[in-house]
């Protein structure tokens, strides 16, 4: 979610069902989320025969969104750690070359 943006009404298709949602996600992120949810539902063997799609699919969609956001944050942290490791290595090399005891 993008803080400060107004929620807009959007209709998506998930598991063969049309669902009306309110979201502040951009179109690309929403498409990624729906594709991921569809993929996970297919892997779980969940199809269009869900009794109450709103009750099952909307919470599932929220959880998928949280998972994707967590993965993105983990990737960012991994990149930051790699950059910090490079800087520490460079600093260690400078210290080894210096005359400081």
In angstroms, the CA 19 to CA 14 distance is 7
From 37-41, 71-75, 84-88, 97-101, the region with the lowest mean pLDDT: 97-101
Q: Does residue 52 sit within a domain? A: yes
Q: Does residue 28 sit within a domain? A: yes
pLDDT at 82 > cutoff 90: yes
Q: What is the number of domains present in the chain? A: 1
In angstroms, the CA 47 to CA 16 distance is 7
Domain that holds residue 79: 8-97
Q: Does residue 65 sit within a domain? A: yes
Instruction: Convert the pLDDT of each residue in 18-67 to its tens digit.
Output: 888 888 889 999 899 889 888 888 887 766 665 666 667 777 788 888 88
Per the structure block, which two tokens stand in for 25?
A: 């996600």
57-93 burial by CB neighbour count: b if 16+ within 10 A, else e? Answer: beebbeebbeeeeeeeeeeeeeeeeeeeeeeeeeeee
Q: Does residue 25 sit within a domain? A: yes
Who wins on pLDDT, 93 or 43?
93
Q: Does residue 3 sit within a domain? A: no
């Amino acid at each position: 979610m993008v803080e400060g943006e107004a929620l807009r009404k959007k209709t998506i298709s998930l598991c063969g069902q049309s669902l009306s949602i309110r979201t502040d996600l951009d179109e690309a992120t929403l498409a990624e989320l729906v594709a991921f949810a569809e993929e996970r539902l297919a892997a779980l063997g969940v199809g269009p025969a869900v009794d109450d799609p709103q009750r099952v699919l909307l919470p599932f969609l929220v959880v998928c969104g949280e998972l994707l956001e967590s993965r993105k944050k983990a990737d960012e942290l991994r990149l930051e750690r790699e950059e910090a490791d490079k800087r520490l290595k460079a600093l260690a090399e400078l210290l080894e070359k210096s005359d400081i005891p």
